[in-house]
Structure 1
Amino acid sequence: MRKRYGVMAAVVLLLIFGGLFYQRLKGEETEHKKSIRIGVTLYRGDDSFINTIRSNMEEQAKEYEKKTGIKVVMEVVDAKGNQNAQNSQVDRFISLGYDAICVNMVDRSMASNIISKAMDADLPVVFFNREPVEEDMRRWEKLYYVGENAKESAVLQGNILVEAYRKDPASLDLNGDGKVSYVLLEGENSHQDSLIRTEWSIQTLKDGAVPLEKITGGIANWDRSQASAWMEQWLKEYPDQIEVVICNNDDMALGAADALERSGIKRPVKIVGIDGTPQGLEGLRSGKIFGTVQCDNREYASVIFKIAAAGSLGQDVKKEVTLYQDKYYECSQKAVRAE
């Protein structure tokens, strides 16, 4: 009996010390890791906001290399709006042994397939800009999301117009009929930010006692040229009625401004966007658009990269970035006006 207990005790001690030795080896492996590989897949590389995030992430990678001495191999690929193409890109990252992946989903409702493959490969995933549904995000502890609070964006956008109306109602009610007549340019039908931005921009205007009248609206898929085409059509149909153009992002706001400029109409139609892209801010400075909501793009990219880098090294992400619910990060925003 004593001999049996002695053998059992020896086995237990062996397991304990073996586990400690393994953890020490893993710690040394992480500590001495000289390079990390991060794959980034974008829903569409020609989106101005996403392209700005990509550029800032590449800058973050360079700064990280200088600071830590750890080489960063970061491959960025464009899914061009095709979810099947994006799935294949993720498969490739996994097959090549990448340490982490950052995914700007084409279709947020289709994240489950990518998550399953990442779980099998024990690969951390940082989703950004397009948030997977909550059920998918709960599936695993190594899933993260970085984005903006869409309601906050919309309320800030709406308040730009509310403040303008309170200061001078005639600045929005151009024909003096007691109503502010607007058109609406929306992103995608299925994008959560588009739906929320639309709802709360209008609600903020109503809450601010701005007398609204909707003329029409259209889905422009965040795209400048599509927005321009819609606006050109509306200016022909309602040449003297449009007073305000509310847009879910800056690219669409600039598209509306392009059409207004081409039309030769000189009425001071107010156009507002969201994102604060470099192009949007330039449009603001030149007077093409009246206001936007600026996201801190550098903060946005920095957080995505920090999470991916920490996950690549097996570090505790929560020690590097303050997250809520251990998964989510919302970037700071501010309203920016032409003045």
Structure 2
Amino acid sequence: MKKWGLVLCLLAVTFSLFAGGAKETAGDDALDVRVLVWKYDDTYGSTVRAAMDKWAAIYSKELGKEIKLTMYDAADDMAKQIEQATIIVGDKPDMVIINLAEVANGQVLVDMFDANDIPYLFYNKQPAAETTKSVLVDTGTIFIGTLARQAGDMQGQILYDLYNADKSIDKNGDGVLQYIMFMGEPNNDEAIARSRYSVETAKSLGLKLEAVSDTLVCNWDQALAQEAMTATWASVGDKIEVVFANNDMMALGAVAALNAYGYNTGRAGDKEVVVIGVDAIDAALESIKNGGMTATVQQDGDAMGKANIRIAYNGALGKEWLDGTDYKYTTEDEFKCIRIPYAMITEVK
């Protein structure tokens, strides 16, 4: 009798354990979405991350299915991002959202996730042109970004408008605007387009421009830009009349260096150099308001974060990427892509 009691007790415990496990699995039907981020300390990227958290919560309620996000900081290290991807593969999540640490190395991640039937999309940093076919076209994934040249076009337009409103920005009065260019990365499509079209658009509108230094590649980083600006100023000095920067962080670095020479301080009577960035991060808007930066081009982090989550939701459920949304594929790209528009900001109140 004691033996039967023990057996029944053990069976009851076993059944309880299995029932408990089954109940937890059945109830835990949330979508497991992982996000690979190139680096957390990128200010614009931080606005996108915050937006993804926000929209995951909103869409969890609106769409009736919880979206659980787990994010990983690669700290601008592709090797670390690959390690993180390896961990993710072992966890078999429903979806991976990728912000590449190195745009030339998307194939490594694609191969890992494809081999394990884990869907993925790319955002913000477009895979390098030489990998477009294998990483984007052949896989059928989607890229969520911006129109690469639009930010550059707007920077050129801003400079044209500034010059027409106040020709004194041509400080030496020679009819030519001497400029320097801060570039994010040499093989990044966004950086290439912003660097090219800011100048080409200004010239196409009738301005004459002259580069007074080689392009300064500063990896989107404020501190590196400040160092480069200091060194360049020591070399060419006040020949510089315009600073183009691929992002606001580098523009702010340039302003910090200029401040040390008494420029762009916001104080009445101090000299100024035109400084135009991209992103419209809070620090840049504050700088414009206080007389540091001159202008920026807004990259809408909230809109990108929203698109990432809504489209990832579809991908996780095996639906067509844009199903049930108002997004439209671009017509100029050979791969599936949506572009978040920019806006010019020249005044902050």
Interval containing the TM-score (normalised by the shorter chain): 0.7 to 0.9
Cα distance between partner residues in 1 of 2:336 and 2:285: 31
SS in 2 for 1:239: helix
Q: 1:191 aligns with which of 188, 191, 216?
A: 188
**Taking structure 1 as reference, are residues 326 and 187 closer, same or farther at Cα in structure 2, changes over 3 Å only?**
closer
Matched, 1:338 2:336: no
Aligned match of 1:232:
230
Aligned match of 1:304:
308
Cα distance between partner residues in 2 of 1:270 and 1:118: 45
Matched, 1:210 2:216: no
Aligned match of 2:162:
164
Aligned match of 1:68:
63
CA contact (8 A) 2:149 2:193 kept: yes
Cα distance between partner residues in 1 of 2:194 and 2:52: 25
Aligned match of 1:82:
77
Task: Name the TM-score, length of structure 1 as normaliser.
Answer: 0.86
Give 1:316 shift. 2.7
Aligned match of 1:140:
139
Matched, 1:327 2:324: no
**2:96 alignment partner AA:** I
Aligned match of 1:101:
96
Cα distance between partner residues in 1 of 2:115 and 2:234: 55
Give 1:74 shift. 0.7
Aligned match of 1:37:
32
Give 1:34 shift. 3.1
SS in 2 for 1:75: strand
Cα distance between partner residues in 1 of 2:196 and 2:154: 13
Give 1:195 shift. 1.0
Cα distance between partner residues in 2 of 1:197 and 1:88: 31
Give 1:192 shift. 1.3
Deviations 1:37-70 (A, max 9, x none): 1111111111111111111111111112232342
CA contact (8 A) 2:137 2:336 kept: no
Point out the more displaced range, 320-329 or 123-132.
Answer: 320-329
Matched, 1:281 2:279: no
Aligned match of 1:5:
none
**1:150 alignment partner AA:** A
List alignment gaps of at least 5 residues for structure 2: 1-26, 264-269
Aligned match of 1:270:
274
Aligned match of 1:8:
none
Matched positions, count: 306
CA contact (8 A) 1:35 1:71 kept: yes
Cα distance between partner residues in 2 of 1:160 and 1:322: 28
**1:140 alignment partner AA:** T
Cα distance between partner residues in 2 of 1:77 and 1:285: 34
SS in 1 for 2:239: coil
Aligned match of 1:150:
148
Cα distance between partner residues in 1 of 2:53 and 2:132: 29
CA contact (8 A) 1:94 1:121 kept: yes
Aligned match of 1:252:
250
Cα distance between partner residues in 2 of 1:196 and 1:322: 22
SS in 2 for 1:238: helix
Deviations 1:239-295 (A, max 9, x none): 321111111111000111111112223311110001122222222222211111102
Cα distance between partner residues in 2 of 1:89 and 1:303: 23
Percentage of pairs with the same residue = 26
Coordinate RMSD, CA, aligned = 1.7
CA contact (8 A) 1:40 1:102 kept: yes
Cα distance between partner residues in 2 of 1:281 and 1:56: 19
CA contact (8 A) 1:231 1:256 kept: yes
SS in 2 for 1:279: helix
Cα distance between partner residues in 1 of 2:119 and 2:173: 56
Deviations 1:129-159 (A, max 9, x none): 1112321211222x11011111111001110
Cα distance between partner residues in 2 of 1:61 and 1:318: 17
- Aligned 1:45-56 pairs, distance under 5 A: 45-56=40-51
